Chains A and B, each alone.
Chain A
Amino acid sequence: MLKLVNLTKRYGQTLALDGFNLEVSPGERVVIMGPSGCGKSTAIRCINRLTEPDGGEIYFQGLSVLDMGHRELLDMRKRIGFVFQHFNLIHRLSALENVMFGLVMAGMDRRQAKEQAIEALAKVGLTGDLDKRPGELSGGQQQRVGIARALALDPVLMLWDEPTASLDPILVCEVLDVMEELVATTQTTMVIVTHEVAFARRAADRIVLMDKGKVVEEGPPDEVFTSPSSEVGRKYQRLLVA
Chain B
Amino acid sequence: MFALLRDGFAGDLIILLLVSILLGSLGASAIAAAVDNYFGDTVNELIGDYGEFDVIIHVREEVQDAAGQEMERIVAEKLPGAVYKKGLTVAGQANFFLSLPPELRNRGILEGLGGIVGDLPGYSGLTYIIEPAITINSVHPGVRSELWEKMEQIPGVDFIFRQGNNLLVLLDSVDCAPQVSQALEELLAGYQVLEVRLPIGYAAQDVEALSEQVRAGIARELGPRVLKDVTFARQGEDTQSFLKALAEMRRFLLSYAAKVDIHLEGDAPLWVGDSVIVPGVDDPIVVEVTEVSGSLARGVITKGDLRGVPQLVQTGRRLLASGEEGPEVGRVEIRNERLQLIQTIDESLILVGELDALAQEAKGAVDNAEKTLSTFHQALYKLEELQLQLQTLTQNLQPALEGQGTSSQIFLSLLINSLFKDMLGDGGSQVGVIGDLDVALMRDNLDNIAARLEAVRQVDLDAVIHQMQQVRDALPQLQEEDMGRSVRLINSYIAGQVIPGEKIDLLVDDAVSPREAERAVQEELDNEYISVLSTPAGVVRPNTRAELFRVLREVRGIIAGLAAIVFTVLTLILDHATILSAGRRLLAGKKGLRRVLNPVFVFGALTGAALLVPTYILSRANIPFMGLGQALGCGLLLGLLTALLAERLSPVDDSEMLAGEALGLTYAQIMREIVVPAARPGLLQLLSRCRRKFG
Contacts and interface: CB of A to CB of B under 8 A. Distances in A.
B524 to A, nearest CB: 81
Contacts of A78: 663-664
A19 interface: no
Interface stretch (B296-304, B476-484, B652-660): B652-660
Contact of B659 (A74, A76, A80, A89): A89
A111 interface: no
B658 A84 contact: yes
B668 to A, nearest CB: 11
A186 B656 CA distance: 27
Interface string A137-162: 00000000000010001000000000
B416 to A, nearest CB: 113
Contacts of A153: 663
A93 B677 CA distance: 11
Interface string A64-93: 000000100111111010101011111111
B678 A92 contact: yes
Contacts of A52: 589-591
B681 to A, nearest CB: 13
Question: What band does the interface of chain A fall in when counting residues whose beta carbon is under 8 Å from B?
Answer: 20 to 34
B261 interface: no
Contact of B656 (A90, A102, A105): A90
Contacts of A106: 663-664
B693 to A, nearest CB: 6
A86 B678 contact: no
A77 B590 contact: no
Given A84-B655, A97-B694, A105-B673, A77 B589 contact: no
Contacts of B653: 91
B662 A77 contact: yes
A105 B7 CA distance: 13
A76 B666 CA distance: 12
Contacts of B589: 11, 51-52
B323 interface: no
A8 B687 CA distance: 42
A104 B694 contact: yes
A96 B48 CA distance: 70
Interface residues of B, number: 26
Interface in A16-35: none
B245 to A, nearest CB: 94
Contact of A93 (B662, B669, B695): B695
B691 to A, nearest CB: 13
Contact of A105 (B655, B665, B678): B665
A50 interface: yes
B662 A50 contact: yes
B421 interface: no
A86 B654 CA distance: 11
B648 interface: no
Contacts of B661: 50, 77
A48 interface: yes
A78 B665 CA distance: 8
Contacts of A48: 662
A153 B659 CA distance: 13
A88 B659 contact: yes
B371 interface: no
A91 B656 contact: yes
B78 interface: no
A77 B656 contact: no
Contact of B655 (A73, A86, A93, A97): A86
Nearest to B695: A92
B658 A88 contact: yes
A225 interface: no
Interface in B634-663: 653, 655-656, 658-663
B382 interface: no
A89 B694 CA distance: 14
A140 B627 CA distance: 61
A102 B658 contact: no
Given A52-B591, A97-B694, A102 B655 contact: no
A143 B658 CA distance: 15
A101 interface: yes
B423 to A, nearest CB: 123
Given A84-B655, A88-B656, A105 B663 contact: yes
The listed residue with most B CB atoms (<10 A of its CB), out of A87, A92, A105, is A105
Interface in B436-471: none
Nearest to B665: A105
B71 interface: no
Contacts of A93: 694-695
B674 interface: yes
Contacts of B677: 92
B659 A70 contact: no
A86 B56 CA distance: 78
Contacts of A74: 664-666
A102 B663 contact: yes
Contacts of B673: 90, 101, 105
Contact of B662 (A70, A82, A91): A82
A104 B693 contact: yes
B6 interface: yes
A70 B694 CA distance: 24
Nearest to A70: B6
Contacts of A70: 3, 6-7
A90 B674 contact: yes
B529 to A, nearest CB: 71
A70 B664 CA distance: 10
Contacts of B659: 82, 84, 88-90, 149
Contacts of B669: 105
A39 B669 CA distance: 30
B695 to A, nearest CB: 6
A90 B658 CA distance: 10
Interface in B5-26: 6-7
A50 B6 CA distance: 18
Given A91-B653, A92-B677, A92-B695, A50 B658 contact: yes
Nearest to B593: A52
Interface string B666-688: 10010001100110000000000
A9 B128 CA distance: 81
Nearest to B678: A92
B616 to A, nearest CB: 36
A88 B655 contact: yes
B694 A76 contact: no
Contacts of A51: 589
Contacts of B694: 93, 97, 101, 104
A74 B7 CA distance: 11
A48 B664 CA distance: 9
Contacts of A73: 664
Interface in B610-629: none
Contact of B693 (A50, A75, A76, A105): A105
Nearest to A9: B589
A127 B673 CA distance: 25
28 contacts: A11-B589, A50-B661, A50-B662, A52-B590, A70-B3, A74-B666, A75-B664, A77-B661, A78-B663, A82-B663, A84-B659, A84-B662, A87-B655, A88-B655, A88-B658, A88-B659, A89-B656, A90-B659, A90-B673, A90-B674, A91-B653, A97-B694, A102-B664, A104-B693, A105-B663, A105-B665, A149-B663, A153-B663
- Of all A-B residue pairs in the complex, the 3 with the closest CB atoms, nearest first, are A77-B664, A78-B664, A82-B662
Given A74-B666, A84-B662, 19 more contacts: A11-B589, A50-B662, A70-B7, A77-B663, A82-B662, A88-B659, A90-B656, A90-B674, A91-B656, A92-B677, A92-B678, A93-B694, A102-B663, A104-B694, A105-B663, A105-B665, A105-B669, A105-B673, A105-B693
Interface of B: 3, 6-7, 589-591, 653, 655-656, 658-666, 669, 673-674, 677-678, 693-695
